[in-house]
């Protein structure tokens, strides 16, 4: 067995791999490995998910905004070509899910070699569009209950997904918006950029999940809306039970606890003008 190494300027991640299952260089450099922790998707050198740990990412990205909304019937996902976020969103039995993924090769590679979507990508409630999500949002004249951005780390291709113009367009077409917002431990600059640029929303909150497959382990998410985001535990628990959702990582109690931030992160969040 060999090692896959994800290296950045000041830190790195090493995963033992059995073999490489797939590689394609097109719009993005896509690799899929068989590892000691299950299948692993890598895009442009960065780990996107590992099967053993992916629930702590996809469940927290999807269920926190979906359960914040009292009745999410129409959902938009930008990115998420592996299907993990769509899988979790569909557990809420929405009427319609639109998923906009820019790279068809990610979808097909994950369908063929991984399958974490568990059939979500072929669900009749889901419409898959292979196009630029930024342009889709910019030109969209529909309204969505929940909009989730499941994107990669900032790169030349994804950088517009972190711009104020994109967030402004998202706020126009969604009641509740959610995204992954990088590692506040090892990517503080990128984390601060997200907080600064999402100021177009009236209300924003940061929450956390423990994700071993990402450097530093602590990963942040941002939920935003032009309406109140305060939902009590009893109400979240009732919605969770009424929708009969089964999860591996997420619970209503984890949902609430995820918004409790360590002091150093509270200080950053307050400094950037957000509630804690």
Rounded Cα distance, 107 and 32, in Å = 12
Instruction: Give the pLDDT confidence score for residue 8 in this predicted structure.
Output: 79
Please check if 82 is assigned to a binding site: yes
Instruction: Give the pLDDT confidence score for residue 152 in this predicted structure.
Output: 74
Q: How far is CA 163 from CA 9, 190, 268, in A?
A: 23, 12, 20
* Phi/psi at 41 (5° precision): -100, 130
Instruction: Give the pLDDT confidence score for residue 243 in this predicted structure.
Output: 98
* Phi/psi at 211 (5° precision): -130, 95
Q: Are 18 and 31 in contact (CB under 8 A)?
A: no
Owner of token pair 């929405």: 94
Rounded Cα distance, 11 and 164, in Å = 29
Residues in the chain: 276
| Annotated catalytic residue, options 117, 145, 150, 153 | 150
Strand-pair partners of 7: 12
Q: Could you report the per-residue pLDDT of 142-198, keeping only the tens digit for each?
A: 999 999 999 877 665 566 778 899 999 999 999 999 999 999 999 999 999 999 999
Instruction: Give the pLDDT confidence score for residue 264 in this predicted structure.
Output: 97
Instruction: Give the pLDDT confidence score for residue 249 in this predicted structure.
Output: 98
Please check if 10 is assigned to a binding site: no
Please check if 101 is assigned to a binding site: yes
Model pTM? 0.95
Q: Could you report the per-residue pLDDT of 197-219, keeping only the tens digit for each?
A: 999 999 999 999 999 999 889 99
- Per residue of the chain (276 residues), what is the pLDDT tens digit? 799 999 877 888 899 999 999 999 999 999 999 999 999 999 999 999 999 999 999 999 999 999 999 999 999 999 999 999 999 999 999 999 999 999 999 999 999 999 999 999 999 999 999 999 999 999 999 999 999 999 877 665 566 778 899 999 999 999 999 999 999 999 999 999 999 999 999 999 999 999 999 988 999 999 999 999 988 999 999 999 999 999 999 999 999 999 999 999 999 999 998 887
* 150 in active site: yes
Please check if 83 is assigned to a binding site: no
Rounded Cα distance, 34 and 137, in Å = 35
What domains can be seen in the chain, in order of their start residue? Answer: 2-50 (2.30.140.10), 55-271 (3.40.50.150)
């Amino acid at each position: 067995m060999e090692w896959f190494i994800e290296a950045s300027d000041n830190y790195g991640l090493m995963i033992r791999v059995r073999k490489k299952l797939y590689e394609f260089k097109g719009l993005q450099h896509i690799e899929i490995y068989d590892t000691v922790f299950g299948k692993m998707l890598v895009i442009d050198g960065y780990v996107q998910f590992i099967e053993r740990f992916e629930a702590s990412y996809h469940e927290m990205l999807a269920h926190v905004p979906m359960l914040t909304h009292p009745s999410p019937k129409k959902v938009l996902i930008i990115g998420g070509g592996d299907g993990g976020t769509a899988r979790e969103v569909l557990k809420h039995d929405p009427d319609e899910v639109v998923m906009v993924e820019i790279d068809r090769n990610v979808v097909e590679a994950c369908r063929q070699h991984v399958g974490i979507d568990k059939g979500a990508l072929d669900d009749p409630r889901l419409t898959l569009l292979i196009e630029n999500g930024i342009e889709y949002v910019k030109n969209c004249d529909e309204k969505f209950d929940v909009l989730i951005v499941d994107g990669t780390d900032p790169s030349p291709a994804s950088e517009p997904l972190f711009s104020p113009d994109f967030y402004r367009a998202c706020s126009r077409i969604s009641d509740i918006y959610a995204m992954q917002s990088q590692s506040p431990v090892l990517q503080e600059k990128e984390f601060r950029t997200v907080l600064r640029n999402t100021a177009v929303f009236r209300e924003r909150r940061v929450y956390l999940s423990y994700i071993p497959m990402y450097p530093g382990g602590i990963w942040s998410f941002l939920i935003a809306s032009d309406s109140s985001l305060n939902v009590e535990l009893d109400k979240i628990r009732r919605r969770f039970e009424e929708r009969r959702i089964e999860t591996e990582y997420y619970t209503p109690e984890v949902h609430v606890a995820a918004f409790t931030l360590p002091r150093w992160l509270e200080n950053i969040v307050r400094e950037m003008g957000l509630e804690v």
